[in-house]
Structure 1
Amino acid sequence: MKTNNILMVISVFTIFLLSKCNTQHPQNNAKLEEAKAAIAASNNIYFEAFAKGDSSIFINRYAKDCCILAPNVPAMCGEDAPLHFFRVAYHDIGLRNGKFITTAVYGDGEEYVTEEGLWQSFDANNVMFDDGKFLVLWKKTPEGWKMYRDSFSSNKK
């Protein structure tokens, strides 16, 4: 009987410890919510760059040490990467608007968080010409949350 009581106490204590390990601290939760809000705000103006033809809006979404990992081309990294990508998307592809649909944000909100989602691209006639999925690693910088690694792929064959 003593063995059963000891096992029960150990089991309850173990369950208690495991539940504490899986619980986020309210402060970390607040930091993650802050990161989510910053990501949503950035995503809301991202495609304005293409609608207005203003690369500065686009460039400001990215960290200075970013890498854009577009499909079927080498990684574009560094401070000039966003401008290069903007020019190709705007002039060669004809991107004029789009939409991000965030499906999840992972992390603790301290230095990095990962955003997962879907995207849609529209031309000058507001016709969707491509869509796909993405993963973005966001980095907290002195200027706020910026895209550090931007990886995406099309659903088109």
Structure 2
Amino acid sequence: MKNVLALAMLMAITLISKAQTNTDPLQQARKAIEASNAIYADLANKNDGSILTRYTDDACLLPPNSAPVCGKENIAKFFKDGPKVHVKFTIQHLYGDASTFITEESYYEMTDLNGNKLDEGKVMVVWKNTADGLKMHRDMFSSNKPVSK
């Protein structure tokens, strides 16, 4: 009886420790994406090109009501001298296998530096797993506000 109990305890300990070391790849990706999203506006606000560290070399922005903006040079122009804002992203869903591409579906809320709400909307980002970690490969966003006439 003692042997059976000891064996059961060892099996339980093994299963618990294995569960703690085998983390879900999408959970790891979520942590990396949340960390990137948390500093996104700060990098854009620097206006020094550091925002480009979040994107792949062949990335494209897909902004509302305009043509795609592709390549680091054009993305840098897009962000150059943009408004200084804070952006909070809330991930709704992640899709993919986490080994090559992950699609992020999120909501955003944008405020000015004093905390006044400027906009809210939705974001769809295709993240690419690169040698340097997850990078934004396609970045599509649009406001929830109606288009002004």
TM-score interval for Structure 1 and Structure 2 normalised by the shorter chain? 0.7 to 0.9
Match of 2:132 in 1: 143
Cα deviation, 1:34-58, whole Å, max 9, x if unaligned, reads 221211110111111245x244331
The one-letter code matched in structure 2 to 1:118 is Y
Secondary structure of 1:85 counterpart: helix
Identity over aligned residues, as a percent?
A: 37
* Aligned counterparts of 1:128 and 1:50: Cα–Cα separation in 2: 18
Q: Is the 8 Å Cα contact of residues 122 and 141 (structure 2) preserved in structure 1?
A: yes
Determine whether 1:48 maps to 2:42. Answer: yes
TM-score (norm 1): 0.73
Deviation at 1:96, TM superposition (A): 1.9
Label 1:124 to 1:44 Cα distance change in 2 as closer, same or farther (>3 A). Answer: closer
Label 1:66 to 1:153 Cα distance change in 2 as closer, same or farther (>3 A). Answer: same
Label 1:99 to 1:55 Cα distance change in 2 as closer, same or farther (>3 A). Answer: farther
Q: Is the 8 Å Cα contact of residues 95 and 121 (structure 1) preserved in structure 2?
A: no
The one-letter code matched in structure 2 to 1:117 is S
Match of 1:118 in 2: 107
The one-letter code matched in structure 2 to 1:38 is A
Q: Is the 8 Å Cα contact of residues 47 and 79 (structure 2) preserved in structure 1?
A: no
* Aligned counterparts of 2:97 and 2:91: Cα–Cα separation in 1: 17
Cα deviation, 1:3-45, whole Å, max 9, x if unaligned, reads xxxxxxxxxxxxxxxxxxxxxxx97x73222221211110111
Deviation at 1:144, TM superposition (A): 0.9
Q: Is the 8 Å Cα contact of residues 47 and 80 (structure 2) preserved in structure 1?
A: no
Q: CA RMSD in A?
A: 1.9
Match of 1:18 in 2: none
TM-score (norm 2): 0.76
* Aligned counterparts of 2:88 and 2:144: Cα–Cα separation in 1: 15
Stretches of structure 1 that go unaligned for 5 or more consecutive residues are: 1-25
Determine whether 1:59 maps to 2:48. Answer: no
Q: Which runs of 4+ in 1 moved over 6 A?
A: none
The one-letter code matched in structure 1 to 2:136 is M
Q: Is the 8 Å Cα contact of residues 101 and 128 (structure 2) preserved in structure 1?
A: yes
Stretches of structure 2 that go unaligned for 5 or more consecutive residues are: 1-20
Q: Is the 8 Å Cα contact of residues 95 and 122 (structure 1) preserved in structure 2?
A: no
